[in-house]
Amino acid sequence: MGGPSPMLWLANAKILDVQRGRTKNGNLVVEGERIVEITRKKAAPKGAKVIDLAGRTLLPGLIDCHVHLTLPTDTADPYAPARRSDALVALHCAEAARRTLMAGFTTVRDVGGWNHAEMAVREAAKQGHVIAPRLFLAGKLLSITTSGADYYPGMYEICDGVEQVIAGARRQIAKGADLIKVMATGAMLSPESEDSRAIQFTRAELEAAVAVARDNYKHVAAHAHAVDGILNAVEAGAGSIEHGTFADRAVLQLMAKKGTFLVPTLCVTPAMLRDRHIRETIPEHERARLVGTDEQHRKAIRLAHRLKVPIAMGTDAGTPGNHHGDNAQEIVEMVTGAGLTPAAAIYASTMNPAKLLGQDKELGSLDQGKLADVIAVARDPLADITALTQVDLVMKGGVIYKHGRRRIT
């Protein structure tokens, strides 16, 4: 991996306009870390480095809005994450970040880390010791007292009552958080004694988290399955609802009106079922919860899309079998399982996440002046969305990390 080259022509490409949902032939010109021009002009100027893409499709780097880079995916033992030292967690996190970048995800939002090891990985990436996507990090997630913390002691910051929520949110920001993650309802991957349908934080607690986030120019991501918990979080002013399993028409209409993003994480259950070892060893109550709600979840996401709720792609990579680097499977699920067109699914994986992160002037589309986060795929993803599962070229900030079979790492 070298530094950004002075001028780079990604020549002979189909360049995807994510807003219009169509491609046009041309060359994309990068200088330093930015896109400086998109041109049909045939010849590159003398001294420019040319990469002939031979008709491949160029897209903006993909953005996953829901990952847990510090979680292992090769085990369904719920107590396995807690048995690792923080040093090992950081090393695993760096490897997860590398794989995610190589899969074409040049930006991720991590919505629950582990003892802030992910903050150390971000620092190591900044210093050039490891490679990673652009990392927007929540630090520890805020939660009421619940047995969920038994499985993920490094991920939970227990806060009961408004005062503790304020303090907990401030602690994450002091550690370097870019957003605040809250648990508005129970979780699926938690001990049996936690009711996954339960309402957790109260409206007042959620409002307190939102107030701290807003005062610091940040947003709140709210984990929510149960419809009343979704409503609490939307009315409190959360920027995004994670999962949204039991969302009904009324709450989705409110989200559409308020511009609250929905992050579906549809691939959690299929990814768990696809991996034989995970499928055979996952605790029965977790399996039953995931499988038992999967169809309802898809129904909710389909309805959300029809009601024009802004959707931002998120995998929940880090759950059992939901491997880091397989992130594009979620974009495929959004098309095959939730009725989005390929163009809508790509928009939900580029431009909408950039908006959710407040980065839409810098990221999310291939436009002159934006950061050169660019990927290339061999087949046309508008015709076949599975094209995104095989990425040929990965560039972040004008630096090429992967090119064909050559991995520049």
**Binding interface with Zn ion (CB under 5 A):** 316
Q: Which of 137, 150, 243, 123 is nearest to 180 (CA)?
A: 137
Query: For Zn ion, which is the closer residue by CB, 316 or 373?
Result: 316
The answer to whether the beta carbons of residues 110 and 68 sit under 8 Å apart is yes
Amino acid at 57: T
Q: What's the rounded Cα separation, in Å, for the pair 247 and 296?
A: 9
Query: For Zn ion, which is the closer residue by CB, 26 or 318?
Result: 318
Query: For Zn ion, which is the closer residue by CB, 14 or 109?
Result: 109
Q: What's the rounded Cα separation, in Å, for the pair 83 and 92?
A: 13
Query: For Zn ion, which is the closer residue by CB, 112 or 310?
Result: 112
The radius of gyration of the chain's CA atoms, rounded to the nearest angstrom, is 20
Query: For Zn ion, which is the closer residue by CB, 316 or 330?
Result: 316
Burial of 124 (0-12, 13-18, 19+ CB in 10 A): middle
The residue of the chain with the least Cβ separation from Zn ion equals: 316
For residue 113, the minimal CB distance to Zn ion (Å) is 11
Query: For Zn ion, which is the closer residue by CB, 59 or 266?
Result: 266
Q: Which of 136, 142, 144, 171 is nearest to 157 (CA)?
A: 142
Phi, psi of 303 (to 5 degrees): -65, -40
Q: What's the rounded Cα separation, in Å, for the pair 86 and 93?
A: 10
Query: For Zn ion, which is the closer residue by CB, 157 or 316?
Result: 316
- Strand, helix or coil for residue 37: strand
Q: Roughly how many angstroms between the first and final C-alpha of the chain, as a whole number?
A: 6
For residue 300, the minimal CB distance to Zn ion (Å) is 17
- Strand, helix or coil for residue 403: strand
The answer to whether the beta carbons of residues 13 and 58 sit under 8 Å apart is yes
The answer to whether the beta carbons of residues 93 and 118 sit under 8 Å apart is yes
- Strand, helix or coil for residue 325: coil
Query: For Zn ion, which is the closer residue by CB, 71 or 343?
Result: 71
